C-alpha cells in the first residue's frame, strides 16, 4: 500500500485526512451492527473511525452508509453494453464491483475476447474481476468460434484481475472425472472455481463437489439449493432478466448459513439494469421476502468479496477501499450516492464519472454459409415432431411431441397452435452447419425475429412464421455484422447492431436502451407476450441446459447431452 507512513499518521490522528465523513449511520457488515459514527478517508482508503480532522468534511446527516454492492456472477455481454457503458448503467445503483465470466466473448473470440474485456474495463469507477471461461465451447454439440483448454487458462490465471476459473458447465464431465475438466479445476487451485450444475443432486453432486467446484448459481428449487449448501457450495442467488430464482431460493437463507450466500444476476439487459436495478434490486427483493436488511447487505457485499478473495473490498473498515453507498431508508432500499475510492461517482441516479477513451473493437465475427433450401423440412408421413417448449422466466425448456402442420409435403410453422420454425446457422467458420427445429411459446403471428446472441456458441438464431422472413433476418444480421433484428413481410421493422463480436453494441447506453425497447415493442406487436423475447431466444441454443435445445448441429437432448431427431 502506497504512502503507508502518511496513512498511519492520519490513522493515529497526527495529520488531517483527505476527507472526513461525519454523522454516518454505518451498516457494519463485519460486526452485524448499525451505529452512528464518523470515518476518515485518504488516498482512496478507509483510514479509521472516530473524531478525526479532514481537509474536506462531508456531513451525511444520519444517512445510512454501507459497502458498495458486488455482483458475484455476471456475463457483461448479456447487457449488450461495452464495459464503460455498463458502468454507466449500474454504478448509480450502488454497484462497485462485478465478478464477470466473459464466456460469450471467449466463445466467439477465444483469449482475444478475454483480453478485450480486461483492457476495456480499466480506469472505470467499477472494478471488474474476471473468471476464466472453462467451457469453450460449452459442449461438443455446437460449433463455437474458439476452443480453449486448461493450457489456455494457465496463460492468464496469474493476472491480478483474474479471480479464478468460471462455471464448470460440463458438469457430467466433472463428476465422471474427464481429464480435460479436472485439468481446468487444477488451474484454478488457489483461486475460486465456480460451478454450474442445474438440477444436479445425490451422489453425482457429491462427486462434482469433491472434484473441487466451490459454488453454484443454477439452483431453481429450494431443496436443490439446500442440498448444495450442505455440501459446502457457496450459493449464488440469481435474479436476472429471465432467470428469476430469488423468490424461490431466498427461503434457504437463515442466520446460520447466510455467510455462504451471495447475489448474482448472471444475465441482465441494459433496460432492466437501469429501470429495475442491479444488485440493489436483489437486496430489495430479499428484504421484501423477509431477510433482515443487514443480512441482505452482507449477502450483497462481504460474502461475495470473501468467496472470491477480493481483498479490501466488501466492507467499510481500515485499509479497505473507500467504496460505499449512501441511502436513506433501510427497508425501502434506494441508493442515493455511490462513492468509489473516496470519489463521488453517482448521485440520485446520475452517473458523474468520465469514462476513458474507447478501446478499438475486435475483428469481424460474421462468416456464414447457407442456402435457403437448408431451412426446408420434408414431412414424413405419420410422424410426429419434437418441439421446444419455452418455460416463461426460465432458461430451461420442455420437450413436447405434436403432429406437425404440413403444406406441399413440408413441415411449416403453425401459427394457430403457436408452433414456429426455428433455425440456427453457424457463423464463425463458414462450415455450412444449419439446425432446423420448431418452438412453442413466442406466439408470433407474422414475421420473424433473430439474433447473433445465442448462448453459448453464439451462432445466428432465428424464429419465424415463414422462410422468406427468416432469410431476410439472416441477411440483415450479416449486413450489420451482428445484432438483433425483427422483420415483417420482408421489411426490417426494428434492429440493434451488435458489431462487437456480434454480442455487444458500441452505441451509448441511452441508444442501446431505446433500440432494445423498439425491438421488444415490435416483437409484442407481432404477437409475442414474453417479457424479454430476444433474451428468451438467446437461450434456446444453450445445449447444457435441459430439456430440448437447437444448435447448428441439430436438435439436442440437453438432459443427456446428445443429439436427437426432429421426427419421433
Write down the pLDDT at residue 65: 98
Q: How far is CA 523 from the centre of its chain?
A: 23
Write down the pLDDT at residue 138: 82
Whether the predicted pLDDT of 537 surpasses 90: yes
Q: What is the DSSP string of 313-343?
A: -SS-STTSB--EEEES-SSS--EEEEEETTE
**Residues sharing a CB contact under 8 Å with residue 459, sequence separation 6 or more, in sequence order:** 142, 143, 424, 425, 426, 427, 428, 433, 452, 541, 551, 552
Could you report the per-residue pLDDT of 243-290, keeping only the tens digit for each? 889 999 999 999 999 999 999 999 898 999 999 999 999 999 999 999
Nearest alpha carbon to residue 192 among 211, 177, 212: 212
**Residues sharing a CB contact under 8 Å with residue 103, sequence separation 6 or more, in sequence order:** 75, 133, 135, 136, 138, 166, 167, 456
Task: Using DSSP, state whether 288 is helix, strand or coil.
Answer: helix
Write down the pLDDT at residue 243: 82
Of all residues in the chain, what percent carry a pLDDT higher than 70? 100
Q: Return the minimum-mean-pLDDT range out of 386-390, 430-434, 559-563.
A: 559-563
Write down the pLDDT at residue 301: 98
Does the domain at 68-314 match CATH 3.10.250.10? Answer given as no
Write down the pLDDT at residue 545: 86
Write down the pLDDT at residue 286: 98
Write down the pLDDT at residue 242: 78
Whether the predicted pLDDT of 393 surpasses 80: no
Pairing assessment for the beta strands 261-264 and 234-238 based on DSSP bridges: parallel
Confidence band, pLDDT 50/70/90 cuts, at residue 236:
very high
Confidence band, pLDDT 50/70/90 cuts, at residue 146:
very high
Whether the predicted pLDDT of 561 surpasses 90: no
Mean pLDDT of the chain, nearest integer: 96
Could you report the per-residue pLDDT of 42-81, keeping only the tens digit for each? 999 999 999 999 999 999 999 999 999 999 999 999 999 9
Of all residues in the chain, what percent carry a pLDDT higher than 90? 91
Could you report the per-residue pLDDT of 81-125, keeping only the tens digit for each? 999 999 999 999 999 999 999 999 999 999 999 999 999 999 999
Write down the pLDDT at residue 357: 85
Q: Which CATH superfamily is domain 4-62 in?
A: Urease, subunit C, domain 1 (2.30.40.10)
The domain spans of the chain are 4-62, 68-314, 372-563
Q: What's the burial of 79, exposed, middle or buried (CB within 10 Å: 0-12/13-18/19+)?
A: buried
Nearest alpha carbon to residue 28 among 220, 297, 264: 297
Could you report the per-residue pLDDT of 545-559, keeping only the tens digit for each? 889 999 999 999 998
Whether the predicted pLDDT of 183 surpasses 90: yes
E strand map for 217-323: 234-238, 261-264
Whether the CB-CB separation of 10 and 47 falls below 8 Å is answered with: yes
Could you report the per-residue pLDDT of 20-30, keeping only the tens digit for each? 999 999 999 99
Amino acid at each position: 500500500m502506497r504512502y503507508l507512513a502518511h496513512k498511519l499518521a492520519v490513522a493515529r490522528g497526527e495529520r488531517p485526512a483527505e476527507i472526513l465523513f461525519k454523522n454516518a449511520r454505518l451498516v457494519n457488515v463485519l460486526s452485524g451492527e448499525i451505529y452512528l459514527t464518523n470515518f476518515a478517508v485518504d488516498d482512496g482508503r478507509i483510514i479509521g473511525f472516530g473524531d478525526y480532522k479532514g481537509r474536506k468534511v462531508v456531513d451525511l446527516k444520519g444517512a445510512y452508509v454501507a459497502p458498495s454492492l458486488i455482483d458475484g456472477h455476471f456475463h457483461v455481454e448479456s447487457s449488450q453494453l461495452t464495459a464503460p457503458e455498463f458502468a454507466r448503467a449500474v454504478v448509480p445503483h450502488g454497484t462497485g464491483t462485478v465478478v464477470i465470466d466473459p464466456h460469450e466473448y471467449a466463445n466467439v473470440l477465444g483469449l482475444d475476447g478475454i483480453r478485450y474485456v480486461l483492457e476495456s474495463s480499466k480506469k472505470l469507477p467499477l472494478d471488474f474481476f474476471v473468471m476464466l471461461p472453462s467451457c469453450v465451447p460449452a459442449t461438443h454439440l455446437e460449433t463455437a468460434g474458439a476452443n480453449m483448454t486448461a493450457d489456455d487458462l494457465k496463460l492468464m490465471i496469474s493476472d491480478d484481475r483474474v479471480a479464478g476459473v468460471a462455471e464448470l458447465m460440463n458438469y457430467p464431465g466433472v463428476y465422471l472425472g474427464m481429464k480435460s475438466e479436472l485439468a481446468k479445476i487444477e488451474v484454478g487451485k488457489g483461486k475460486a472455481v465456480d460451478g454450474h450444475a442445474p438440477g444436479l443432486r445425490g451422489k453425482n453432486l457429491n462427486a462434482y463437489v469433491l472434484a473441487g467446484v466451490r459454488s453454484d448459481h443454477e439452483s431453481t428449487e429450494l431443496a436443490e439449493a439446500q442440498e448444495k449448501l450442505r455440501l459446502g457450495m457457496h450459493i449464488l442467488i440469481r435474479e436476472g432478466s429471465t432467470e428469476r430464482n430469488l423468490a424461490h431460493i431466498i427461503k434457504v437463507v437463515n442466520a446460520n448459513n447466510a455467510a455462504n450466500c451471495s447475489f448474482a444476476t448472471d444475465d441482465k439487459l441494459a433496460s432492466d439494469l437501469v429501470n429495475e436495478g442491479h444488485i440493489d434490486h436483489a437486496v430489495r427483493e430479499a428484504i421484501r421476502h423477509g431477510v433482515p436488511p443487514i443480512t441482505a447487505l452482507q449477502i450483497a457485499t462481504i460474502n461475495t468479496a470473501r468467496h472470491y478473495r477480493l481483498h479490501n473490498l466488501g466492507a467499510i473498515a481500515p485499509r479497505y477501499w473507500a467504496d460505499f453507498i449512501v441511502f436513506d431508508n433501510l427497508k425501502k432500499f434506494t441508493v442515493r450516492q455511490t462513492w468509489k475510492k473516496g470519489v463521488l461517482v453517482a448521485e440520485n441516479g446520475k452517473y458523474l464519472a468520465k469514462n476513458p477513451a474507447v478501446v478499438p473493437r475486435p475483428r469481424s465475427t460474421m462468416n456464414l454459409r447457407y442456402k435457403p433450401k437448408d431451412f426446408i423440412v420434408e414431412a414424413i408421413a405419420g410422424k410426429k415432431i419434437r418441439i421446444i417448449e419455452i418455460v416463461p422466466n426460465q432458461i430451461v425448456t420442455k420437450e413436447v411431441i405434436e403432429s406437425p402442420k404440413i403444406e406441399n409435403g413440408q413441415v411449416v410453422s403453425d401459427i394457430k397452435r403457436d408452433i414456429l420454425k426455428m433455425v440456427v446457422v453457424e457463423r464463425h467458420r463458414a462450415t455450412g452447419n444449419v439446425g432446423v427445429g420448431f418452438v412453442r411459446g413466442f406466439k408470433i403471428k407474422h414475421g420473424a425475429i433473430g439474433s447473433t446472441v445465442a448462448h453459448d456458441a453464439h451462432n445466428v438464431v432465428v424464429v419465424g412464421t415463414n422462410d422468406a422472413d427468416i432469410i431476410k433476418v439472416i441477411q440483415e444480421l450479416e449486413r450489420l455484422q451482428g445484432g438483433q433484428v425483427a422483420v415483417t413481410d420482408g421489411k426490417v421493422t426494428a434492429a440493434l447492431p451488435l458489431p462487437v463480436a456480434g454480442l455487444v453494441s458500441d452505441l451509448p447506453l441511452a441508444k442501446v436502451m431505446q433500440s432494445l425497447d423498439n425491438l421488444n415493442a415490435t416483437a409484442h406487436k407481432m404477437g409475442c407476450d414474453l417479457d424479454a423475447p430476444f433474451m428468451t431466444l438467446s437461450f434456446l441454443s444453450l445445449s447444457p441446459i435441459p430439456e430440448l435445445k437447437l444448435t447448428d448441429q441439430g436438435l439436442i437432448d440437453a438432459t443427456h447431452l446428445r443429439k436427437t431427431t426432429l421426427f419421433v
